[in-house]
């Protein structure tokens, strides 16, 4: 398998962490989707990464579809419960973590791609309120539990840690560590895993 992505994308990181946790082999193809010469649309018409290229040449996106697929490839390090309420719970954690990222990324794009006089503060405030409400919800959902869902590592933890890591990388002014020590504790614990150490955004 080949994974098209960038080392700064939190969605790509989620896929890479899952690959590592499940001990799956792949070739990482780095692609700057913002460069005019990018060929990403040949694989993903939406022009986004991550995009997984399978052995038969087929392409798969987005990160949620990819990680769900990867989890079926081997029983090693099962990250998504097989069915029922537990499965939906893990997917809902992922949706919340990804949603925080979607909102924060919109703010970053507004700030970096638009000239200052065209930027909408109202729009950015709206997105930022989702980020803050999302963080609060992650923290109250976690409480003092060792993992987000159940009693072992799942895709919920992977998704949350990738979102928190990216916020620290791109929005260091958001003090989620100070505001939510339980999230910091979870994040620090996960950061010790090789899968996270080897995929730091930089
Ligand atoms: C989001 C992918 C995405 O926004 C997923 O795979 O989970 N829901 C999708 N990728 C960004 C890079 S990043 O900010 O992580 C991307 O490729 N953006 C290019 C564009 O044209 O929006």
β-strand partners of 60: 52
- DSSP string covering 18-87, please? HHHHTT---EEEE--TTSTT--GGGT-TT--S-EEEPTTS-EE--HHHHHHHHHHH-STT--S-SSHHHH
pLDDT for 90 beyond 90 = yes
| 4 has pLDDT over 90 | yes
Structure-token match 């919340």, residue found? 96
pLDDT digits (tens, 9 = 90+) for 28-74: 999 999 999 999 999 999 999 999 999 998 999 999 999 999 999 99
What is the helix (H) or strand (E) element at residue 88, kind and residue range? helix 84-113
Structural domains in the chain plus CATH codes:
2-70 (3.40.30.10), 84-193 (1.20.1050.10)
Which residue puts its alpha carbon closest to atom 18 of ligand 1? 48
Residue 82 pLDDT: 95
CA of 181 to the centre of ligand 1 (A): 29
Find residue 53's DSSP bridge partners.
2, 59
**Which residues are near ligand 1 (CB < 6 Å)?**
9-11, 33, 47-50, 61-64, 98, 105
Protein residue with its CA nearest to atom 13 in ligand 1: 9
pLDDT of residue 202: 85
Of the candidates 133, 164, 137, the one whose C-alpha atom is nearest the C-alpha of residue 14 is 164
Query: In this structure, which residue's CA is closest to atom 4 in ligand 1?
Result: 48
Cα of 11 vs centre of ligand 1, distance in Å, is 7
Q: What is the dihedral of CA 106, 112, 114, 118, to 10 degrees?
A: 80
Q: Give the model confidence (pLDDT) of 140-195 as tens digits.
A: 999 999 999 999 999 999 999 999 999 999 999 999 999 999 999 999 999 999 99
Cα(46) to ligand 1 centroid in Å equals 9
Give the C-alpha separation, 192 to 198, whole Å: 10
What is the distance between the alpha carbons of residues 3 and 10, in angstroms, rounded to a whole number? Answer: 14
Distance, CA of 14 to CA of 159 (rounded, Å): 6
For residue 18, what are the β-bridge partners?
A: none
pLDDT number for residue 29 = 98
Centroid of ligand 1 to alpha carbon of 37 (angstroms): 17
Q: Are strands 2-5 and 27-30 parallel, antiparallel or unpaired?
A: parallel
Distance CA 94, CA 97 (A): 5
Q: What is the pLDDT of residue 194?
A: 98
Average of per-residue pLDDT across 109-114: 96
Residue 5's SS3 state is strand
């Amino acid at each position: 398998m080949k994974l098209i992505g960038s080392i700064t994308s939190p969605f790509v990181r989620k896929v890479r962490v899952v690959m590592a946790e499940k001990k799956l082999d792949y070739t990482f193809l780095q692609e700057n989707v913002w460069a005019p010469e990018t060929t990403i649309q040949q694989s993903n018409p939406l022009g986004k990464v991550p995009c997984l290229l399978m052995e038969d040449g087929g392409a798969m996106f987005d990160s949620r579809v990819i990680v769900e697929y990867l989890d079926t490839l081997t029983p090693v390090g099962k990250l998504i419960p097989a069915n029922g309420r537990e499965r939906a719970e893990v997917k809902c954690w992922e949706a919340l973590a990804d949603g925080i990222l979607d909102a924060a990324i919109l703010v970053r794009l507004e700030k970096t791609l638009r000239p200052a006089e065209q930027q909408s503060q109202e729009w950015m405030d709206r997105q930022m309120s989702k980020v803050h409400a999302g963080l609060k919800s992650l923290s109250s959902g976690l409480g003092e539990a060792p993992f987000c869902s159940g009693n072992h590592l799942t895709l919920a933890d992977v998704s949350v840690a990738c979102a928190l890591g990216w916020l620290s990388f791109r929005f260091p002014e958001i003090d989620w560590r100070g505001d939510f020590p339980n999230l910091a504790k979870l994040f620090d614990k996960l950061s010790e895993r090789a899968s996270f150490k080897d995929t730091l955004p930089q």
